[in-house]
């Protein structure tokens, strides 16, 4: 009797397993995907993106359409299948994608109804095309600025992969251009007056950026690391060598303190990218210097490499490079959530300060913190403070500046509370554990509490949820002399 019951149970499980092999709701797989990005001098200021998918209906019913998530900067959207144009439909705001606020602000979702429903097990070729705006002879797109994906219909039990297991990616540019992207490079070749660069992405790749421009290249080996300089004008060999050695020194410090970067043995790029070529980003500070997943973008129009000084800003180039390199960990290895440029830039500034101290190039700690408190006070003369955890997108640069300044001070307050060794160990563990994912203040607090065996709830609440700088910290470091407004 028991044998018959066991057999019946096994048969029922087998039947249920077979039934679940076919999804109950609408479903598809992406059998193949190819993305083509084209830039030509005949259409300055515009990059054309085309993605062709081969979809297979793997559900138990006909598939009436899919959805597409596109960057907000996408223009002139066109969708075709078998030569027939589809009419994309933008959902009402209430039906927008649910998720982190920054995703809602940086992407747009469209419904793509098919001309005729796709039968079960049938395949369909679908092509999406759109344009992206550029602002000069070179262009850089971060992952969220250009990347896009498919989604299943917005109905219960719908399933579908955002992209193929392997995606072929081709970039066509003028023949004097160089191209760098995420994924695996599969070589390049001439095509008349164009050059074609080929890459391949896997579904697990992240940070699929794209950088291209008419660059001259200098490769320099420094202490076992390859530094690749992309410039619009030749650099004297001595200047290039000094820059490479400085970059390598800082990167080694960060690798020891924070663990491996995205590509631990790969080269680091530093590319010339004038401010005038960048899209307007009012919330981004230091327009002459920023980072991307494999290096830094700098503006040589404003920076004098020979003296390692910023010729028009008064900021030190080596210090700015230190900050951009720290972002390889805090903005690219893992990304902050919410991505509003507070926690990641504060962590980068903290790491930069430690690197400068290790190199003997930093000011005395007490004087530094006194100056940072004074800067915070000056910023409050321009705008009313919003507590860090109360910031919501969209947020202006004016609102962000005091929050960033306060977040930097908070990290030094944490260090004072738990010790530099514990804080660095916690940050390293957090950022490596969240590799390819997102992190926030909760993850930082959890890591620091675990490392230090202290309860930091009240401290985090005072710094992140309440206005102002806690009185004890201010009294210990603040200088009575106000910082001059510049």
What pLDDT is recorded for position 37?
A: 95
Say if 17 falls within a structural domain.
no
Q: Are residues 361 and 325 in the same domain?
A: no
Give 189-202 pLDDT, tens digit per residue. Answer: 998 899 999 999 88
What pLDDT is recorded for position 8?
A: 52
- Here the CATH number for the domain that contains residue 107 is 2.60.40
Query: Which stretches of the chain drop beneath a pLDDT of 70?
Result: 1-24, 91-107, 206, 275-289, 301-317, 479-486
The whole domain housing 131 covers 27-207
Say if 307 falls within a structural domain.
yes
Say if 471 falls within a structural domain.
yes
Q: Are residues 222 and 200 in the same domain?
A: no
Last residue of a domain, one of 187, 207, 227: 207
What pLDDT is recorded for position 309?
A: 39
| Burial of residue 50, with CB atoms counted within 10 A of its CB: 0-12 exposed, 13-18 middle, 19 or more buried | middle
What pLDDT is recorded for position 458?
A: 97
Q: Are residues 176 and 116 in the same domain?
A: yes
| Residue 220 CA to its chain's centroid (Å) | 26
Give 280-315 pLDDT, tens digit per residue. Answer: 443 344 444 688 899 998 877 665 443 443 333 334
Say if 347 falls within a structural domain.
no
pTM of the entire predicted model: 0.81
Say if 1 falls within a structural domain.
no
Last residue of a domain, one of 186, 207, 228: 207
Q: Are residues 202 and 219 in the same domain?
A: no
Q: Are residues 52 and 192 in the same domain?
A: yes
Q: Are residues 243 and 383 in the same domain?
A: no
- Here the CATH number for the domain that contains residue 427 is 1.10.390.10
Q: Are residues 403 and 479 in the same domain?
A: yes
What pLDDT is recorded for position 2?
A: 52
Say if 234 falls within a structural domain.
yes
What pLDDT is recorded for position 183?
A: 85
Say if 21 falls within a structural domain.
no
Last residue of a domain, one of 163, 190, 207: 207
Residue closest to 103 by CA, chosen among 140, 72, 68, 134: 72
Nearest 5°: the CA angle 363, 364, 369 is 95
Say if 286 falls within a structural domain.
yes
Q: Are residues 202 and 229 in the same domain?
A: no
Q: Are residues 33 and 148 in the same domain?
A: yes
Q: Are residues 236 and 91 in the same domain?
A: no
Q: Are residues 286 and 376 in the same domain?
A: no
Q: Are residues 484 and 377 in the same domain?
A: yes
Q: How many domains does the chain have?
A: 3
What are 226's two structure tokens? 């390859």
């Amino acid at each position: 009797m028991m044998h018959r019951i066991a057999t019946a149970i096994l048969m029922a499980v087998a039947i249920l397993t077979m039934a679940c092999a076919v999804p109950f709701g609408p479903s598809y797989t992406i059998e193949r995907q190819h993305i083509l990005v084209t830039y030509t001098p005949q259409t300055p200021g515009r990059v054309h993106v085309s993605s062709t998918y081969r979809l297979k209906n793997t559900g138990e019913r006909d598939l009436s359409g899919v959805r597409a998530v596109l960057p907000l900067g996408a223009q002139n959207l066109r969708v075709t299948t078998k030569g027939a144009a589809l009419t994309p439909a933008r959902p009402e705001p209430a039906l927008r994608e649910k998720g982190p606020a920054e995703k809602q602000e940086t992407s747009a979702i469209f419904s793509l109804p098919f001309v005729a429903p796709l039968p079960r097990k049938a395949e369909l070729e679908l092509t999406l095309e759109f344009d992206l705006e550029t602002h000069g002879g070179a262009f850089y797109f971060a992952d969220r600025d250009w990347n896009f994906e498919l989604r299943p219909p917005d109905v219960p039990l719908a399933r579908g992969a955002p992209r193929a297991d392997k995606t072929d990616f081709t970039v066509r540019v003028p023949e004097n251009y160089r191209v760098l992207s995420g994924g695996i490079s599969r070589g390049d070749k001439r095509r008349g007056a164009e050059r074609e660069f080929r890459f391949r992405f896997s579904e697990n790749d992240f940070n699929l950026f794209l950088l291209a421009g008419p660059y001259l290249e200098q490769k320099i080996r420094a202490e076992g690391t390859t530094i690749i300089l992309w410039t619009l004008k030749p650099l004297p060999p001595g200047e290039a060598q000094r820059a490479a050695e400085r970059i390598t020194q800082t990167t080694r410090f960060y690798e020891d303190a924070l663990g491996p970067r995205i590509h631990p043995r790969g080269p680091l790029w530093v590319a010339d990218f004038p401010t005038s070529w960048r899209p307007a980003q009012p919330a981004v500070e230091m327009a002459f210097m920023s980072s991307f997943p494999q290096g830094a973008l700098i503006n040589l129009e404003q920076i004098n490499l020979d003296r390692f000084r910023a010729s028009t800003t008064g900021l030190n180039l080596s210090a700015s490079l230190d900050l951009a390199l720290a972002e390889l960990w805090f903005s690219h290895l893992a990304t902050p959530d919410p991505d509003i440029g507070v926690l990641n830039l504060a962590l980068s500034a903290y790491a930069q300060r430690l690197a400068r101290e290790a190199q003997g190039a930093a000011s005395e700690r007490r004087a530094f913190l006194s100056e940072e408190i004074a800067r915070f006070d000056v910023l409050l003369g321009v705008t009313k403070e919003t507590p860090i955890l109360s910031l919501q997108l969209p947020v202006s640069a004016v609102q962000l500046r005091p929050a960033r300044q306060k977040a930097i001070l908070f990290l030094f307050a944490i260090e004072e509370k738990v010790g530099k060794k514990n804080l660095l160990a916690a940050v390293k563990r957090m950022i490596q554990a969240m590799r390819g994912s997102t992190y926030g203040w909760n993850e930082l607090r959890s890591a620091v509490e675990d490392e230090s065996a202290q309860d930091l709830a009240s401290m985090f609440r005072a710094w992140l949820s309440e206005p102002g700088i806690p009185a004890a910290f201010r009294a210990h470091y603040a200088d009575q002399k106000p910082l001059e407004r510049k």
